[in-house]
Amino acid sequence: MGLGVVFPGQGSQRVGMLAEAAAEFASVKDAFTEASDALGYDLWTLVSNGPEDQLSLTEFTQPAILTA
């Protein structure tokens, strides 16, 4: 049997989407810290606290989905 992997696409993002995972695994926050450093803005705060309308913009959604 083969292995299939499904990745979420744009539209699957929501504010607070990784709260449970981040509470369980430090590597989640670490990944967002690294992404934030590269992007020049705090991606973790955006994903955690919003605002939702900013997170839904492609320029913010794509880095959030990739990092997640």
pLDDT digits (tens, 9 = 90+) for 19-59: 999 999 999 999 999 999 999 999 999 999 999 999 999 99
Q: State the Cα angle at 62 between 50 and 38, rounded to 5°.
A: 85
**pLDDT in the model for residue 4:** 78
Closest CA to 52 of 22, 16, 23, 21: 16
15 contacts 49 by C-beta, under 8 angstroms:
yes
Q: Which residue type is seen at 16?
A: G
Higher pLDDT, 67 or 5: 67
Cα–Cα distance for residue pair 5/49, rounded to 1 Å: 29
**pLDDT in the model for residue 29:** 95
Q: Determine if the pTM surpasses 0.75.
A: yes
**pLDDT in the model for residue 28:** 94
Cα–Cα distance for residue pair 42/34, rounded to 1 Å: 10
